[in-house]
Structure 1
Amino acid sequence: MEEEKSLDLMGIKPVAKAVEKATDKTVDGLGSFFGAICMPAAEEFGLLLKDKVAAYRQRNLEKISQKAKNKIEHQKIEISGQANPVLIREVLEEASWCEDEEIQSMWAGLLSVAAGNTAVSDDSLVYTDTLKRLTPFQARLINEIYFDPRCCSVKPPIGNHEGDVFYPENKLIYSVVDVLEIYPGDLSEIVPIANASHEKILATENDHSIALSRFRPQIEALKVLGLIHDVKFLNNGKEGIYVFPSLKGLDFFMRCLGYSVYPLEAFILTLQHWNKLKDIDPFTCQKT
């Protein structure tokens, strides 16, 4: 006992034990949540959490699981206990590295949908590959586009739209400042303009096209992923962007909110209903 005390010169053993105890409690809580969603693999997920998921990833998973619980409760989803175990593995292995709140919420949306499905009926897995590719900026831009009331300014017969594209009557045009303000960090750290602060970049029109060009690859990548049908950079980006939404993007957006709604007509009508509750007319409103 005396020898142990002499080795613990900084007195950190009690702290280490407290951290270990808190970590065990977190792991047990996560194991219970993921086990409830996917009961057949509950034991395996518990072992995986204990053996392979370090404290940093545990914190991220804890946030994601809490967000998923909130969505499940809010939407009154009845947990089946038969979610696809491959989806849960993807969350444990991929989502656990994500510390961005917006993307964590999107992972939580996929989990909440999966919680009410069975491994046979659950197709949430097809969305995980797309989600793990997104940057924080792209995630926010997707939410900006499909939360935009103008996105659902589509009149019946909605089902007449061909392929993976639909055309809102109220165009989705965003100014350069609209786009730049979506970025969650300090623009001065990534935009190549010398001695320009975040505020100066937003306020200086001459800097806008340079700043927007920094995000052009990420915006165009959303088209490659199919999350938007097309995007036009107005006057080479000096006047903003014109976005054409896609069915795949709207489907992805709804899934990441925690909703599984089919077909396209139901998607649009759901968004129109949400806006009506807020007394917003998608056909006449301006950018909010």
Structure 2
Amino acid sequence: MSENKGLDIFGIKPVANAIDKTVQKSLEGIEGFLQLTCKPALGEVGLLIQDKVRHWRLCNVIRMLEKAQGKLDFNNDTFQLKSHPRVGLSIIENSSLIDNEEVQDMWAGLFASSCTESGTDDENLIFIDLLKQLTTAQAQILKYGVENSRKIIYPNGLVIAEELKIHCDDIFKLTGLNNYHRVDRELDYLRALGLISSYSGGFDPDSADLVADIHPTYLSLSLYVKSQGSKLDPDEFWKQELITKEQLDKEEEEKAKQEAERRKKENKKL
């Protein structure tokens, strides 16, 4: 791919001298990718290029698209997937405002999972709307909750995450926050979005310790899967790790027996 070809596609010849060489090289690396996956986005990126004030946003978009390209095993000769323009443009617009690596990676995953053979699938609009509302701290809590909770598959095929509790001090370490009121607000918002359980999510005001239940909902599991660049549903994505409801019930019965035995022994000592 020649330098002139790259500049022609994005329409940046008049401002080429003002563009950082590293950025220019990165642009040449993603132009073919966008040409195939979401051609209307070329114009959006072009606007970012021509406005020096938007240089920061342009760099964010480039990094996101490079990540997305990697998730799709991009090949100029055989690549046949496209993103619905409404989805692709929305991801570029929203990801341009994010410079956090973890959250950028989620946006890249959404772009990758948006690419289909028909290019008409707009389901990821649901997940775009959710991700664009998350703070960096919320995204980190959500990611931790999904990755560390066990997933249970029910007889009807739905996958639900098991209860997962975490102390506020551990949330501080995870997010870099240092104010438990702020953490409580972050958890409240995750619950309001339907991303952690509405029944027990967040801090328990009756507890002496600041321990939160952050187990993710099915919507949260789905957002995570899509943000990994996968088109699978949660039951397929975690197929090798799932436990059945029957296995869970047996575990709980065994725990109840062990607890009864422990109490019985303690009572004998009294």
**Partner SS for 2:171:** helix
Aligned counterparts, 1:175-190, within 5 A: 175-183=167-175, 185=176, 187=177
Counterpart among 228, 243, 247 of residue 218 in structure 2: 247
Following TM superposition, by how much is the alpha carbon of 1:236 offset from its aligned partner in structure 2, in angstroms? Answer: 4.6
Residues 117 and 179 of structure 1, relative CA distance in 2, 3 Å threshold: farther
Counterpart among 209, 212, 228 of residue 238 in structure 1: 209
Matched, 1:65 2:65: yes
Checking the alignment, whether the CA contact within 8 Å between 2:109 and 2:230 is kept in structure 1 is: yes
CA distance in 2 between counterparts of 1:247 and 1:56 reads 35
Write the letter of the residue equivalent to 1:175. Answer: H
Q: Aligned Cα RMSD in Å?
A: 3.1
CA distance in 1 between counterparts of 2:101 and 2:107 reads 10
Checking the alignment, whether the CA contact within 8 Å between 1:80 and 1:115 is kept in structure 2 is: no
Structure 1: which 5+ runs fail to align? 1-15, 192-210, 274-282
Following TM superposition, by how much is the alpha carbon of 1:151 offset from its aligned partner in structure 2, in angstroms? Answer: 2.7
Match of 1:266 in 2: 236
CA distance in 1 between counterparts of 2:42 and 2:101 reads 28
Following TM superposition, by how much is the alpha carbon of 1:70 offset from its aligned partner in structure 2, in angstroms? Answer: 2.1
**Partner SS for 2:109:** helix
Following TM superposition, by how much is the alpha carbon of 1:60 offset from its aligned partner in structure 2, in angstroms? Answer: 0.9
Residues 48 and 81 of structure 1, relative CA distance in 2, 3 Å threshold: farther
Match of 1:198 in 2: none
Match of 1:173 in 2: 165
Write the letter of the residue equivalent to 2:170. Answer: D
**Partner SS for 2:214:** strand
CA distance in 1 between counterparts of 2:63 and 2:238 reads 30
TM-score (norm 2): 0.70
Match of 1:194 in 2: none
- More displaced, 116-125 or 137-146? 116-125
Match of 1:6 in 2: none
Match of 2:129 in 1: 129
Deviations, residues 4-47 of structure 1 (Å, cap 9, x unaligned): xxxxxxxxxxxx947455544444434332222124x3653564
TM-score (norm 1): 0.66
Structure 2: which 5+ runs fail to align? 1-15, 244-250, 253-270
Match of 1:84 in 2: 84
Matched, 1:151 2:150: yes
Match of 1:257 in 2: 228
Paired residue total: 223
CA distance in 1 between counterparts of 2:190 and 2:17 reads 46
Matched, 1:33 2:27: no
Write the letter of the residue equivalent to 1:37. Answer: T
Write the letter of the residue equivalent to 1:157. Answer: P
CA distance in 2 between counterparts of 1:32 and 1:268 reads 33
Runs of 4+ that moved beyond 6 A: none
CA distance in 1 between counterparts of 2:170 and 2:187 reads 13
